[in-house]
Structures are given as structure tokens and as C-alpha cells.
């Protein structure tokens, strides 16, 4: 009787899972807003709207591809001249913004409120299918919404040799620029909390020396996919001199930093590591040989978990097709058609940690990736 009951439950689950496979299910995204952008406008005229469309499309192409160089591609330059063709929807809004003002040195016990003005904005939503088709036709790689996080450690040294860890209190200008860059390129950048545990594991001198082993150890608590560590010396002559270290996939890349402008000094390493990550993860589906792999997942015990797993897998950018291969107890096996290969799928799954690898094996010419579902 128990075996019969289990068999019926298993049959029902198979039917329900097949139903879920047939109909698309929503998946959680690591980054959002790739195909939307807000632009400040002076008015709602046609000329101002067309200018905003071009600026917004540039921003969207940059977010979707991850690299500035693609904005110079002939197909993209042509599309920018006809940006309105890719627009799906627009909306206007207004917001009070502070006006810049000179420092007030008058003797006053009460600070004066900053003057404000009403700024008009247009929110431009582009059709993702049209943007992806444009990029595919231009043979330009598309970076999926699953993106690796970058943990940033940084220590600053002033003209007299005093060193401090970067925080929003020590230098808000640097933090604000890095956050702005993260938003512009749609890449998850995080900062350490610098609590007692962090400061016990890493001192300013350790970070300044770019001690790789210590930095990796202190970063484990954040579960970051990559680590960018920088040191910046403000010289008496106004120059910015430093050194950077980027740790990704077990490899550490060290490079110099030098500039006279703070934003330019920060942009160079951030652009460099973002380009590296984009080139590693972005794909051109038409230029990639398809591969079929088996994904075996343990620990799927109920329909809710089945639904969550299928939603997650179907949302992975590499997965082109998905079908049920086997279902037995709490073990589910899926057959995936990829637009990349199994190594790329392994790296993509590792970004989320919803699936913990058990083992990888080869079944003839077909890869079998073995995981446990932990969500």
C-alpha cells in the first residue's frame, strides 16, 4: 500500500513538473533594469525626447554588454541614430534636486537650507527582444542577468603617511563614485562592513601590502565571486599613485594606478575588471556550439521546491532548452540544451549558490552535473 501511494505521488509530481516545464515560469534576477534608463530632460519636446532616447539606448547597451567598446560598433552606432525604434514605453516624472551653492562663511548659528529646483525626467523602457536581436545580428556578446559580485577593499594614505580603510565616512566621494559605476554597468559591487571581525582579520598595512592570502581569508564571510583590493596615496603634489589587485577564479592580477583626477583614477581599475568579467561570462548564442548536459539535483522534496528549481534553471542565460529526464524520490534529473558548454554552466551556477555541487562525472560523451538544491 505504501509503495502504491508513493508511486501515485511520484506520478502526480511528474505530471505537475511536466506542466511547469511546458509553461514558462518567472525566475529571480540577480540584476534588474538592464533594459530601462532614466534621463534628465529640460522639457517634453520631440527634440529633447529624441536626445534622451539616444542617451538611454547608449546606457542600456553598456549595461547589457558590460563593455564600452561595443558602443563604437557600426551596427550600434546606426541603432543609436534610430533609438526610438527600440523604445517600448516611456513615462515622465519630476523631482526636486538641490542646486549647487558656494560655501557660506557668514557668521550664522543656523545653516541655510540648500535651494532646490524641479527637475524633469523621462524613464525609457526598451524592448529586450529587439535589443537582443540587434546585438545578436551584430555578433556582440550579451551578459546575462546573473552577474558576479565584486568585493572592494581599499586603503587610503595621506600626504603625511597616515593610512585609513575606505568607508563612506573617510571618503564619501570615492564610495559614491564606485556605487555610481556599479549602477552604470549593472554589476554588483559590495563593500566590507569593517566591523570588529574585519578589522581583526585585516589591518590597513595588510591591505596596503595586498597580502593575497589574508585578503582572501577575510573575504570569505562575504561570499563574493571576485575581490578588488586597492591602495591609494595622495601625494603632496596632488598626484594619485597606487596599486590594485584583482582576484578572480583563483588568479591574482596586480596592476598600477596613476592619475591626477580622482574619478579617472577609480574608473580605470573598475572598467578593467568589469571588462574582464563581461568577456568571461557574456555569450553570443549564434556563435556558440550547443551542448546537451544532464543536471542531477538532490534534495527536491515537494512541488514548491520543484517549481523553484525549474524556475531557476530556466532563467539561466546559457540554458536554451530544458526537459525532464528522470524523477525518483527527492532526486530530479533534467536534460539541458546549452548555448555554451558545461564548464560555463558550472561557473554560472556558482554565482548564486542555490545549487551546491556534489560531483561532476562523464556518462559517455554526455556531461552529468550533480548538485544539491539548497534554496
Q: What is the pLDDT of residues 69-82, one digit of tens each?
A: 999 999 999 999 99
Domain that holds residue 336: 288-373
Residue 311 resides in a domain: yes
Phi and psi at 4, nearest 5°, equal -65, -45
**pLDDT (mean) for 109-113:** 59
The model's pTM is: 0.73
The domain boundary, picked from 251, 266, 281, lies at 281
* CATH classification of the domain holding 341: 3.30.70
Angle of CA points 363, 369, 374, to nearest 5°: 150
Residue 362 resides in a domain: yes
Q: Is 163 found in the same domain as 123?
A: no
Lowest mean pLDDT across 103-117, 280-294, 317-331: 103-117
Residue 29 resides in a domain: no
How far is it, in rounded angstroms, from Cα 174 to Cα 106?
30
pLDDT, tens digit, 9 for 90 and up, residues 33-82: 999 999 999 999 999 999 999 999 999 999 999 999 999 999 999 999 99
The domain boundary, picked from 281, 314, 329, lies at 281
Q: Is 86 found in the same domain as 52?
A: yes
The domain boundary, picked from 252, 281, 310, lies at 281
For residues 143 and 281, the answer to whether their CB atoms sit within 8 Å is: yes
Instruction: Give the long-range contacts of residues 260-264, CB within 8 A, separation 24 or more.
Output: 262/173, 262/174, 262/177, 263/177
Q: Is 205 found in the same domain as 258?
A: yes
Residue 176 resides in a domain: yes
Q: Is 305 found in the same domain as 231?
A: no
For residues 27 and 312, the answer to whether their CB atoms sit within 8 Å is: yes
322 beta partners: 336
How far is it, in rounded angstroms, from Cα 63 to Cα 47?
25
Cα dist from 281 to 181, 188, 218, 246, 318, whole Å: 19, 14, 26, 17, 10
Instruction: Give the long-range contacts of residues 255-258, CB within 8 A, separation 24 or more.
Output: 257/230, 257/232
pLDDT, residue 96, reads 83
Residue 323 resides in a domain: yes
> pLDDT-derived band of residue 285, with 50, 70 and 90 as boundaries?
low
Domain count, the chain: 3
Q: How many CB atoms lie within 10 A of CB 174?
A: 21
* CATH classification of the domain holding 232: 3.40.50
Work out whether the CA dihedral 7, 12, 13, 18 comes out positive or negative.
Answer: positive
Residue 16 resides in a domain: no
Amino acid at each position: 500500500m505504501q509503495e502504491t501511494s508513493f508511486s501515485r505521488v511520484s506520478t502526480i509530481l511528474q505530471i505537475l513538473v511536466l506542466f511547469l516545464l511546458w509553461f514558462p515560469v518567472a525566475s529571480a534576477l540577480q540584476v534588474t533594469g538592464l533594459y530601462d534608463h532614466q534621463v534628465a530632460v529640460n522639457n517634453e519636446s520631440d527634440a529633447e525626447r529624441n536626445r534622451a532616447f539616444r542617451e538611454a539606448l547608449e546606457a542600456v547597451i553598456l549595461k547589457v554588454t558590460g563593455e564600452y567598446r561595443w558602443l563604437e560598433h557600426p551596427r550600434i552606432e546606426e541603432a543609436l541614430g534610430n533609438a526610438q525604434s527600440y523604445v517600448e514605453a516611456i513615462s515622465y516624472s519630476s523631482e526636486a534636486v538641490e542646486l549647487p551653492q558656494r560655501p557660506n562663511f557668514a557668521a550664522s548659528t543656523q545653516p541655510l537650507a540648500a535651494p532646490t529646483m524641479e527637475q524633469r525626467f523621462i524613464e525609457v523602457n526598451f524592448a529586450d527582444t529587439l535589443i537582443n536581436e540587434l546585438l545578436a545580428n551584430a555578433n556582440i556578446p550579451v551578459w546575462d542577468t546573473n552577474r558576479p559580485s565584486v568585493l572592494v577593499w581599499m586603503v587610503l594614505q595621506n600626504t603625511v603617511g597616515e593610512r585609513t580603510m575606505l568607508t563612506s565616512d573617510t571618503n564619501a566621494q570615492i564610495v559614491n563614485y564606485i556605487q555610481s559605476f556599479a549602477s552604470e554597468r549593472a554589476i554588483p559591487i559590495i563593500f566590507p562592513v569593517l566591523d570588529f571581525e574585519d578589522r581583526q582579520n585585516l589591518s590597513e598595512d595588510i591591505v596596503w601590502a595586498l597580502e593575497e592570502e589574508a585578503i582572501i581569508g577575510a573575504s570569505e564571510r562575504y561570499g563574493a565571486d571576485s575581490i578588488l583590493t586597492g591602495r591609494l596615496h595622495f601625494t603632496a603634489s596632488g598626484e594619485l599613485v597606487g596599486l590594485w589587485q584583482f582576484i578572480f577564479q583563483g588568479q591574482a592580477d596586480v596592476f598600477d594606478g596613476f592619475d591626477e583626477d580622482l574619478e579617472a583614477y577609480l574608473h580605470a581599475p573598475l572598467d578593467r575588471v568589469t571588462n574582464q568579467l563581461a568577456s568571461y561570462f557574456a555569450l553570443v548564442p549564434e556563435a556558440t556550439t550547443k551542448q546537451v548536459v544532464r543536471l542531477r539535483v538532490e534534495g527536491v522534496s515537494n512541488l514548491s521546491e520543484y517549481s523553484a528549481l525549474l524556475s531557476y534553471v530556466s532563467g539561466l542565460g546559457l540554458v536554451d532548452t530544458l526537459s525532464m529526464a528522470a524523477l525518483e524520490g527527492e532526486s530530479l534529473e533534467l536534460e539541458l540544451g546549452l548555448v555554451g558548454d558545461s564548464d560555463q554552466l558550472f561557473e554560472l551556477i556558482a554565482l548564486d549558490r542555490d545549487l551546491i555541487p556534489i560531483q561532476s562525472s562523464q556518462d559517455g560523451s554526455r556531461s552529468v552535473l550533480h548538485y544539491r538544491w539548497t534554496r
